[in-house]
Amino acid sequence: MEGRIGRELWGLNKMRKNADTKYLIESLFLLKNSIDGEFNIL
């Protein structure tokens, strides 16, 4: 689980540097799916 969070944080840093709208949308979508998945486990 920590590895997943680390990759997402790295992605957010990359997104900030690139300011790329498509990457922003994909990152937020993946982050939302991860959060939803964790709630489904609970």
Q: From first to last of its 42 residues, what are the pLDDT tens digits of the chain?
A: 567 777 777 777 776 676 667 787 888 898 888 888 877 665
Q: Report yes or no: 37 and 4 within 8 Å, Cβ to Cβ.
A: no
The answer to whether the pTM exceeds 0.75 is: no
How high is the pLDDT of residue 9? 78
How high is the pLDDT of residue 11? 76
How high is the pLDDT of residue 38? 77
- Quote the DSSP letter at residue 5: H
- Quote the DSSP letter at residue 8: H
* Nearest C-alpha neighbor of 23 from the set 12, 32, 33: 12
What the block records as the tokens of 4 is: 């997943």
How high is the pLDDT of residue 39? 73
For residue 12, CA distances in Å to 1, 15, 37, 38, 41 come to 17, 5, 19, 19, 24
How high is the pLDDT of residue 3? 75
